[in-house]
Chains A and B, each alone.
Chain A
Amino acid sequence: MHYLTDRKRAVGLGSAKSGTMHHWHMMVSSVALVGLVPLFVFTFGAALGGTYEQTVAYYQRPFPAIIAALTLLVGFIHFKNGVMALIEDYVHGFARKALIIAMICTSYTAAAAGVFAVVKIAL
């Protein structure tokens, strides 16, 4: 057994000097989503299951369209930051980097596709 601990090796190196921005971004997007989520659940829930004509007409109205675009955009940015913390905790080495990059790309692609679709329906 060797008793040299991670802590022992870290002493004297100072703080990580990064990470507060990640936490701040999570806080800001959380606050935004506390407002957006209930509005999205009840607007999207009202539209889901409607006919094509009903759905297009519904999302041509400004309020549901803006709520949907904002929720998808902020939601996927919040997901991108959240899933990064998950991956950093459980995945190591090359797979960690590959997964983080894949999830960032997935998040931005989904956000862009969602916002584009809402804008196209609305205009």
Chain B
Amino acid sequence: MADVNRDNRPLSPHLTIYRWQITSVTSIFTRITGNALLIGALLIVWWFVAAATGPEAYARANGFLTSWFGDLVMFGSVAALWYHTLAGIRHLIWDSGHMLGVEQGEKLGLAAIAGAVVLTILTVILL
């Protein structure tokens, strides 16, 4: 029964037809940043394994991570990490039953974007 008529039914309007909203965009972006962080995380694991292996392996991994391309990936990762962290805190607030109104949700979304920008700039300055 479960798969009867799956392809032969009228569909409700989908993503392409709706106006973009701050709530949906920030939600999609949470998912993209969280999953994209795999790349940076695997590079960092490589860096640790290289440091545990010896000086030559470490020089290779450290050289790659501090090259212009490595810098670009690390910059993107830290921006994604701050955004995903703040968006995650937003989810924890929602899970506790607070700030579930539309306007509050929009404010939280904007706060996550602004906070991520500020924290990313701060990280670049400090490190």
Chain A positions near chain B (C-beta within 8 angstroms): 1-5, 9, 27, 30-31, 33-34, 37-38, 41-42, 44-46, 48-50, 52, 55-56, 59, 68, 72, 75-76, 79, 82-83, 86, 106, 110, 113-114, 116-118, 120-121
Contacts and interface: CB of A to CB of B under 8 A. Distances in A.
A55 B58 contact: yes
Given A30-B92, A34-B88, A52 B51 contact: yes
18 contacts: A1-B9, A30-B91, A37-B81, A38-B85, A41-B78, A48-B62, A48-B65, A48-B66, A48-B74, A48-B127, A49-B65, A52-B59, A72-B48, A79-B37, A79-B41, A117-B51, A118-B52, A121-B51
Given A4-B5, A37-B85, A42-B126, A55 B51 contact: yes
Interface in B71-92: 74, 78, 81, 85, 88-89, 91-92
B48 A121 contact: yes
B51 A82 contact: no
Contact of B51 (A5, A27, A56, A110): A56
Nearest to B45: A114
Interface residue SS majority, chain B: helix
Measured as residues with beta carbon below 8 angstroms from the partner, the interface class of chain B is 35 or more
Nearest to B77: A41
A42 B52 contact: no
Given A1-B8, A1-B9, A56-B51, 6 more contacts: A27-B95, A33-B88, A42-B123, A48-B62, A52-B62, A118-B52
Interface residue SS majority, chain A: helix
Contact of A114 (B4, B48, B66, B126): B48
A49 B66 contact: yes
B58 A82 contact: no
Contacts of A4: 4-5, 9
Contacts of A72: 41, 44-45, 48
